[in-house]
């Protein structure tokens, strides 16, 4: 059976970050190990133990930090007068600029590293900036399109999603109608009941054993 993996990095990253609170663990994701973990995990499931599971491709989705985004934030800062009354607002925006520069550099390094991962494709959508701060736009749409189009092309039998985004509900329903299996890994705090009901199998990342988490993450710090 052909297996494709779809990673909504915002949801996945936050799922791993949730382990800080319940399990006192700071973990870093090893993205190149995820496909091996998935195949190993599925092979132990009674439904797949007699099947030959083949990893076809992993798709990684995230919002992209761009120069356009940075310039938009700087432009916003320039519109706020440098007065004592506005110092708090200016400080907040300057902090956003500092964080954006840092995250942009980190993302560039990560994407460069991803080029060495086999059968791993990066899908980035430019991040937006508005009154609510920095936000994603179009990431979930791209994931949904890839999920459905690859199902129609019969490129996979099993879709493994690292995402609990409710926006994927209708797409999951569509690919199931095409006879595909849909498996979701996400932290229970980031999952809705509807998503648990619509997928064929759901695994709460919090419920994975440490030995299983070690297959695709490593501990950065144990918290007291």
Distance, in Å, from the CA atom of 8 to the CA atom of 13, rounded to the nearest integer, reads 8
**38-52 pLDDT per residue, tens:** 999 999 999 998 899
The pLDDT score that the predictor gives to residue 85 is 76
The pLDDT score that the predictor gives to residue 220 is 76
The pLDDT score that the predictor gives to residue 81 is 78
Residue 114 neighbours by CB under 8 Å, 6+ apart: 31, 60, 120, 122
**145-190 pLDDT per residue, tens:** 999 999 999 999 999 999 988 999 999 999 999 999 999 999 999 9
How many residues are listed for the chain in this entry?
224
Task: Count the neighbouring beta carbons within 10 Å of the beta carbon of residue 176.
Answer: 16
The pLDDT score that the predictor gives to residue 107 is 94
Q: Give the DSSP H/E element, type plus range, for residue 160.
A: strand 158-162
pTM of the model: 0.92
Sort 88 into a burial class: Cβ within 10 Å, 0-12 / 13-18 / 19+: exposed
DSSP codes joined into one string, 52-80: --EEEEEEEEEEEP-HHHHHHHHHHHHTS
**138, 162 in Cβ contact below 8 A?**
no
Dig out the tokens for 111 from the structure.
């994407």
Distance, in Å, from the CA atom of 58 to the CA atom of 42, rounded to the nearest integer, reads 15
Instruction: Calculate mean pLDDT across residues 187-211.
Output: 93
Domain ranges of the chain: 6-56+156-224
Distance, in Å, from the CA atom of 209 to the CA atom of 212, rounded to the nearest integer, reads 5
The pLDDT score that the predictor gives to residue 134 is 94
Distance, in Å, from the CA atom of 41 to the CA atom of 219, rounded to the nearest integer, reads 20
Distance, in Å, from the CA atom of 123 to the CA atom of 60, rounded to the nearest integer, reads 6
The pLDDT score that the predictor gives to residue 131 is 84
Say whether pLDDT at 223 is over 70: no
Dig out the tokens for 80 from the structure.
């706020």
Handedness of CA 168, 184, 14, 33 (dihedral sign): negative
Buried b (16+ CB within 10 A) or exposed e, 4-19: bbbbbbbbbeebbebb
**81-138 pLDDT per residue, tens:** 777 778 888 899 999 999 999 999 999 999 999 988 999 999 999 999 988 899 999 9
The pLDDT score that the predictor gives to residue 80 is 84
The pLDDT score that the predictor gives to residue 23 is 80
Dig out the tokens for 121 from the structure.
């494709």
The pLDDT score that the predictor gives to residue 146 is 97
- By percentage, how much of the chain surpasses pLDDT 70? 98
Distance, in Å, from the CA atom of 86 to the CA atom of 19, rounded to the nearest integer, reads 38
Say whether pLDDT at 71 is over 90: yes
Say whether pLDDT at 20 is over 90: no
The pLDDT score that the predictor gives to residue 50 is 87
């Amino acid at each position: 059976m052909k297996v494709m993996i779809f990673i909504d990095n915002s949801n996945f990253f936050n799922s791993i970050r949730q382990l800080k609170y319940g399990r006192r663990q700071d973990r870093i994701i090893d993205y190149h190990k995820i496909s091996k973990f998935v195949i190993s995990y599925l092979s132990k499931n009674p439904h797949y133990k007699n099947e030959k599971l083949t990893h076809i491709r992993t798709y990684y989705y995230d919002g992209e930090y761009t120069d356009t985004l940075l310039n938009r934030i700087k432009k916003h800062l320039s519109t706020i007068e440098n007065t004592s009354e506005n110092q708090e607002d200016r400080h907040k925006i300057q902090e956003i600029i500092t964080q954006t520069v840092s995250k942009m550099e980190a993302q560039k390094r990560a994407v460069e590293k991803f080029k060495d991962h086999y059968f791993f494709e990066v899908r980035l959508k430019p991040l937006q900036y508005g009154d609510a701060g920095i936000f994603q736009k179009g990431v979930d749409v791209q994931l949904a399109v890839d999920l459905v189009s690859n199902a129609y092309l019969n490129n996979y039998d099993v879709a493994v999603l690292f995402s609990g985004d409710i926006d994927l509900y209708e797409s999951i329903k569509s690919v199931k109608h095409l006879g595909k299996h849909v498996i979701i890994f996400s932290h229970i705090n980031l999952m809705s009941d509807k998503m648990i009901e619509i997928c064929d199998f759901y695994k709460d990342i919090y419920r994975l054993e440490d030995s299983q988490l070690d297959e695709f993450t490593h501990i950065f710090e144990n918290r007291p």
